[in-house]
C-alpha cells in the first residue's frame, strides 16, 4: 500500500472504496470531490486501465486490490444478476422484492486485508480526506472503524450510495447511516434519488456542529481540569493529613519507648527492692537465731548458777556445821551469787526486749516492703494497661493510615484516568481545531471556485452575445 510517485496539484487525499465500480463512476467521484494531491482507490476488481478514465489533472491512483474485513486472508464476493451489484453478505427479501428473479451469478474469491491496514494508510495520508464508499451493505463497519481511529475528524466530504432498506444481511439502511453520520457532525448536503432504492447521498463536515463540539469539548476539558485540580487539592489534603498522622504515630511511638524505659527502670527498682527485702529477711532470721542462742546461753548459764548456788548452799550448810565463823563469808558469797544471777537475768531480759524490738522493726520493714511491692505491681499493671491501650490506638492509627493510603492510591488512579482523559480530549480538541481550519480553507476555496465560475459564465454570456452579433452581421451581409 505504498504511495505512488506522482501526485496531483490539489490538496488533501481522495479515497474511493468500492467493489467493481465502473470507470465512469470512479471519474465522476474524482471530479465531484475536487482536485487532490493523492488518490487512493481500494477495489479488488479494478485494474491499471482505470488510469485512462480519470481526469488529466488527477494524480495517478494508489490502487489497493482487496476488500477490507476483520483479518487478512480471502473473502467471497457475491456477483448478483443485477449488473454492477456485488456484496459480501447474502441478499435479503427486501432486495428480491425490488429485483424479482434475483440470482447469484458467481462467487469470486478476492484478497482480504484488515480494516486496520486502511486506517494506518489514511493516518499517513495528507489531509483533508474526501471519501466515497460504494460497498453495498458494508458501509457502516468501515465508517465505524475510521471513527474509532479518529480519522472521520479529518474527512470534509463523504459520498455514499447505500440501500434505502437493509438489502443485505447486517446492512445499515440509508436513514440509519444518515442519523449516525449526523451524530458524527456531518450534514447531508445533497441527495440524488434518481434511483430511489439506491440514493446517492453527499455529506459534508458540519462546521457549526464541529464548532459546537469543539466548544463542548473545551468545556468538558475545563471541567476535567477543574476535577483534576480538585483531586490534586484532595490529594494534598490527604498528604497533609497523612503527615499529621505520621507525626502523631511518631509521638505515640516515642511515648511507648519512654513507657518501656520507665517500665525497665521500675523492674530494676523492683529487683533491687526484692534483693533488699531478701537481705532484710535474712537479717531478721539471723536476729531471731541470735536471740534464740542468747536465750539458750542464758538459760544454760542460769542453770549453771542454780547448780552452783545449790552447791554453795550445800557447802554453806556443811560449813555452818563445820565452822560458824565461815557463815558470814558464805552469806556474803550467796548474796554476790544472787546479785550476779539477778544481773544476768536483767541483761537477758534486756537482750530479749532488744531482740523483740528488732524483730518488730523487721516485721514493720517487711510490711512496708510488701506494700511497696503491691504499689509497684499496681503501677506496672496500670502501665501495661496503658501500653495495651496505646498499642490498640497505634493499631487503629495504622488501620486509618492504611485506609488513607488505599484512598490515596484510588485518588491517584482517578487522577491518572483524568490525565489520560484530558490528554485524549486535548487531542480531540486539536483535531477539531485542525478540522475547522481545513473547513475554513475549503470554504474559501469553494468561494474562489464560485467566483471563477461566475466570471466564466459572464464571459460565456458575452461570447454568446458576440456570436449572436456576428450571426446578425453575417445574415445582413447579402443586403449590404
The residue extents of the domains of the chain are 13-205, 219-432
The beta-strand segments (E) located in 240-386 are none
- Would you place residue 480 in the very low, low, confident or very high pLDDT band (cuts 50, 70, 90)? very low
Give the gyration radius of the chain's Cα atoms. Answer: 60
pLDDT at res. 245? 67
Average pLDDT over residues 261-280: 76
Farthest-apart Cα atoms in the chain, separation: 228
pLDDT at res. 307? 79
How many percent of the chain have pLDDT more than 70? 76
Query: Does the domain formed by 219-432 have CATH 2.40.360?
Result: no
Of 263 and 193, the one with more pLDDT: 193
pLDDT at res. 476? 57
Question: Which pTM does this prediction carry?
Answer: 0.48
- Would you place residue 216 in the very low, low, confident or very high pLDDT band (cuts 50, 70, 90)? low
Q: Up-side HSE of residue 233: CA atoms within 13 Å toward CB?
A: 6
- Would you place residue 402 in the very low, low, confident or very high pLDDT band (cuts 50, 70, 90)? confident
Residue 73: which of 131, 126, 113, 116 has the closest Cα?
113
Average pLDDT over residues 61-70: 94
d(C-alpha 15, C-alpha 40), whole Å? 5
- Would you place residue 2 in the very low, low, confident or very high pLDDT band (cuts 50, 70, 90)? very low
pLDDT at res. 140? 95
Average pLDDT over residues 135-164: 94
pLDDT at res. 379? 65
Average pLDDT over residues 313-324: 66
- Would you place residue 479 in the very low, low, confident or very high pLDDT band (cuts 50, 70, 90)? very low
pLDDT at res. 437? 66
Q: Cα-flanking dihedrals φ and ψ of residue 300, to 5°?
A: -65, -45
Domain spanning 13-205 has what CATH number?
3.40.50
Q: What is the mean pLDDT of the chain?
A: 80
Amino acid at each position: 500500500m505504498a504511495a505512488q510517485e506522482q501526485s496531483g496539484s490539489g490538496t488533501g487525499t481522495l479515497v474511493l472504496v468500492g467493489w467493481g465500480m465502473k470507470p465512469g463512476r470512479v471519474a465522476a467521484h474524482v471530479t465531484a470531490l475536487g482536485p487532490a494531491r493523492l488518490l487512493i482507490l481500494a477495489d479488488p476488481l479494478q485494474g491499471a486501465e482505470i488510469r485512462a478514465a480519470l481526469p488529466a489533472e488527477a494524480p495517478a491512483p494508489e490502487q489497493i486490490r482487496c476488500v477490507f474485513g476483520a483479518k487478512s486472508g480471502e473473502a467471497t464476493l457475491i456477483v448478483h444478476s443485477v449488473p454492477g451489484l456485488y456484496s459480501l453478505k447474502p441478499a435479503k427479501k427486501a432486495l428480491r422484492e425490488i429485483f424479482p428473479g434475483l440470482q447469484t451469478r458467481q462467487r469470486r474469491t478476492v484478497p482480504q486485508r484488515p480494516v486496520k491496514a486502511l486506517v494506518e494508510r489514511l493516518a499517513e495520508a495528507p489531509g483533508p480526506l474526501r471519501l466515497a464508499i460504494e460497498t453495498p451493505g458494508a458501509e457502516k463497519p468501515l465508517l465505524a472503524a475510521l471513527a474509532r481511529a479518529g480519522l472521520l475528524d479529518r474527512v470534509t466530504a463523504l459520498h455514499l450510495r447505500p440501500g434505502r432498506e437493509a438489502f443485505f444481511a447486517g446492512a445499515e439502511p440509508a436513514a440509519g447511516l444518515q442519523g449516525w453520520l449526523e451524530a458524527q457532525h456531518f450534514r447531508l448536503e445533497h441527495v440524488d434519488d434518481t434511483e430511489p432504492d439506491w440514493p446517492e447521498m453527499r455529506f459534508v463536515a458540519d462546521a457549526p456542529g464541529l464548532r459546537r463540539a469543539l466548544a463542548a469539548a473545551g468545556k468538558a476539558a475545563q471541567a476535567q481540569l477543574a476535577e483534576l485540580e480538585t483531586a490534586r487539592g484532595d490529594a494534598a489534603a490527604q498528604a497533609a493529613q497523612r503527615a499529621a498522622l505520621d507525626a502523631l504515630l511518631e509521638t505515640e511511638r516515642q511515648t511507648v519507648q519512654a513507657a518501656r524505659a520507665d517500665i525497665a527502670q521500675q523492674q530494676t527498682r523492683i529487683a533491687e527492692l526484692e534483693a533488699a527485702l531478701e537481705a532484710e529477711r535474712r537479717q531478721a532470721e539471723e536476729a531471731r537465731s541470735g536471740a534464740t542462742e542468747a536465750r539458750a546461753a542464758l538459760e544454760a548459764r542460769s542453770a549453771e548458777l542454780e547448780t552452783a548456788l545449790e552447791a554453795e548452799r550445800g557447802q554453806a550448810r556443811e560449813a555452818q556445821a563445820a565452822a560458824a565463823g565461815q557463815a558470814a563469808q558464805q552469806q556474803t558469797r550467796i548474796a554476790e551469787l544472787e546479785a550476779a544471777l539477778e544481773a544476768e537475768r536483767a541483761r537477758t531480759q534486756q537482750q530479749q526486749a532488744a531482740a523483740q524490738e528488732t524483730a518488730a522493726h523487721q516485721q514493720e520493714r517487711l510490711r512496708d516492703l510488701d506494700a511497696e511491692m503491691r504499689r509497684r505491681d499496681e503501677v506496672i499493671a496500670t502501665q501495661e494497661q496503658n501500653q495495651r491501650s496505646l498499642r490498640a490506638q497505634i493499631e487503629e492509627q495504622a488501620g486509618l493510615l492504611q485506609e488513607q493510603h488505599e484512598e490515596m492510591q484510588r485518588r491517584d488512579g482517578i487522577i491518572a484516568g483524568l490525565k489520560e482523559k484530558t490528554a485524549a480530549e486535548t487531542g480531540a480538541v486539536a483535531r477539531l481545531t485542525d478540522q475547522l481550519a481545513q473547513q475554513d480553507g475549503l470554504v474559501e476555496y469553494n468561494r474562489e471556485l464560485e467566483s471563477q465560475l461566475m466570471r466564466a459564465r459572464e464571459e460565456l454570456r458575452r461570447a454568446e452575445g458576440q456570436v449572436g452579433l456576428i450571426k446578425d452581421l453575417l445574415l445582413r451581409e447579402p443586403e449590404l
